[in-house]
């Protein structure tokens, strides 16, 4: 993979397109990606509003390999971090993650790699920014890009407001972060305004590709509570073979449904935050 980060801003677009093909295997950008990447490479902060599955992750993964310095990715989803990191490492990218699933030895190894300047991209949870030792380590590094996934969590207008996110913008200023990429698939005008204001993003640097997903179809099946499991089983049986995710609101519901599906011959497992780390990892790896 390309390892040299061009110091001349004029070289960056060409280097980015070369990296897009050589590392990620793509001949061209998807809708909105190029607009985001080129703004970042020119030194501007960006708000990217893309639908789920719209290619948001490439908007920071690619610049991380082109810019001189560390790209720090804030994500609340450990499973997403692991999935993306597995791909990047398989492509030879110097990337790592810090989260609660790592052992003490693994955490120390990541800190050592970061302090030695061997990392180009590091995934962390929002809560990690409350760790003073970690912040001191970051202060000694050049942060070329701060990418904030699920950025709608910064807004009190949002449906998933998280107080930890309010601290991110201030920490970015304290660390002298050169540019910020805020990413979301869920942003009303009020939420988008809060994100842009919080991170100092100009109106012209908001890239919105919309929320429409032509590959998704939504169905609602009204039923009594006692009928839900049977209706779900019937729906899964009617589907073509392949991976299926069932979202529920409670951990115990996930366990109940997984057990019932298994009794009916499906290879089903629960996945939630109440599981041990090795169980979650094994379940995620089996699904992927």
Give 16-33 pLDDT, tens digit per residue: 999 999 999 999 999 999
Kindly state whether residues 153 and 238 are assigned to the same domain. Answer: no
Instruction: Taking residues 272-287, report their average pLDDT.
Output: 86
Residue 100 tokens read as 């609660």
Q: What is the pLDDT of residue 159?
A: 59
Q: Closest Cα to residue 158, out of 181, 185, 135? A: 185
184, 237: one domain: no
> Are both 71 and 116 inside the same structural domain?
yes
Residue 215 lies in a domain: no
Provide the whole-model pTM: 0.77
pLDDT band at 155 (very low <50, low <70, confident <90, very high): confident
Span 51-69, mean pLDDT?
Answer: 93
pLDDT of residue 18: 94
The whole-number average pLDDT for the span 199-210 is 94
Residues in the chain: 288
Which tokens in the block code for residue 230? Answer: 């049977």
Q: What integer is the mean pLDDT of 53-65?
A: 93
| Pairing label, strands 143-148, 180-184 | parallel
pLDDT at residue number 161: 72
Q: So what's the pLDDT on residue 121?
A: 97
Among 36-45, 210-219, 220-229, name the most confident range: 36-45
User: Could you tell me if residue 235 is inside a domain?
Assistant: yes
Both 48 and 166 in one domain: the answer is: yes
175 and 88 within one domain:
yes
Q: Is the Cβ–Cβ distance between 74 and 60 less than 8 Å? A: no
The torsion defined by the Cα of 183, 184, 190 and 196, in degrees rounded to 10, comes to 0
**Do residues 151 and 273 both lie within one domain?**
no
- How would residue 157 be classed by pLDDT, with cut points 50, 70 and 90? low
**Which of 174, 208, 242 delimits the end of a domain?**
208
Asked whether residue 204 falls in the same domain as residue 230, the answer is no
Give residue 162's pLDDT band: very low, low, confident or very high (50, 70, 90).
confident
Is pLDDT above 90 for 242? no
Res 270 pLDDT > 50: yes
Q: Does a structural domain hold residue 254?
A: yes
Domain-embedded: residue 218: no
For 280-288, what is the mean pLDDT? 84
> Minimum mean pLDDT among 16-20, 127-131, 142-146, 177-181: which range?
127-131
Give 11 or 74, the one with higher predicted confidence: 74
Residue 121: inside a domain: yes
Same domain, 153 and 237: no
Same domain, 89 and 152: yes
- Looking at residue 3, its pLDDT comes to 46
Domain membership flag for residue 216: no
Task: Tell me the C-alpha distance between 248 and 100, whole Å.
Answer: 23
Residues 84 and 159 in one domain: yes
Across 264-272, average pLDDT: 93
Residue 90 within a domain: yes
pLDDT at 174: 92
d(CA 91, CA 106): 21
Pick from 54, 55, 47, 71: which is nearest to 20 by CA?
A: 55
The predicted-structure confidence for 96-131, as pLDDT tens digits, reads as follows 999 888 899 999 999 999 999 999 999 998 888 888
Q: Of 140, 174, 208, which closes a domain?
A: 208
Query: Can you give the residue range of the structural domain that contains 268?
Result: 225-287
β-strand 46-49 against 206-208: which pairing, if any? parallel
Domain total of the chain: 2
Cβ-Cβ contacts under 8 Å for 265 (sequence gap 6 or more)? none
* Residue 196 sits in the same domain as residue 247: no
**pLDDT computed for residue 8 by the predictor:** 62
Which of 208, 235, 257 terminates a domain? The answer is 208
Give all strands of the β-sheet with 180-184 in edge-to-edge order: 95-98, 121-124, 70-74, 143-148, 180-184, 46-49, 206-208
Task: With cut-offs at 50, 70 and 90, classify the pLDDT of residue 2.
Answer: very low
pLDDT for the residue numbered 164: 78
Say if residue 244 is in the same domain as residue 199: no
- Has residue 217 been placed in a domain? no
């Amino acid at each position: 993979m390309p390892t040299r980060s061009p110091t001349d801003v004029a070289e960056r677009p060409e280097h980015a397109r070369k990296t897009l093909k050589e590392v990620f295997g793509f001949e061209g950008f998807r809708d909105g990606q190029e607009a985001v990447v080129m703004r970042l490479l020119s030194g501007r902060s960006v708000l990217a509003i893309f639908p789920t599955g719209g290619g948001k992750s490439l908007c920071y993964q690619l610049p991380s390999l082109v810019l001189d310095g560390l790209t720090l990715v804030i994500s609340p989803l450990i499973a997403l971090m692991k999935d993306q990191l597995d791909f990047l490492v398989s492509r030879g990218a110097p990337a790592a993650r810090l989260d609660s699933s790592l052992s003490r030895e693994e955490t120390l190894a990541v800190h050592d790699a970061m302090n030695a300047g061997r990392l180009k991209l590091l995934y962390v949870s929002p809560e990690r920014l409350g760790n003073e030792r970690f912040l001191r380590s970051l202060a000694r590094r050049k942060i070329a890009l701060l990418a904030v996934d699920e950025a709608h969590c910064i807004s009190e207008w949002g449906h998933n407001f998280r107080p930890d996110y309010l601290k991110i913008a201030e920490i970015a200023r304290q660390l002298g972060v050169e540019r910020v990429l805020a990413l979301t698939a869920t942003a009303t005008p009020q939420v988008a305004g809060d994100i842009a204001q919080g991170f100092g993003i100009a109106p012209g640097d908001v890239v919105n590709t919309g929320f429409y997903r032509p590959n998704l179809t939504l169905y609602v099946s009204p039923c009594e509570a006692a009928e839900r499991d049977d209706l779900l089983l019937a729906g899964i049986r009617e589907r073509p073979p392949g991976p299926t995710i069932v979202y529920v609101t409670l951990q115990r519901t996930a366990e109940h449904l997984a057990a019932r599906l298994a009794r009916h011959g499906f290879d089903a497992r629960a996945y939630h935050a109440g599981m041990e780390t090795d169980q979650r990892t094994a379940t995620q790896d089996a699904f992927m």
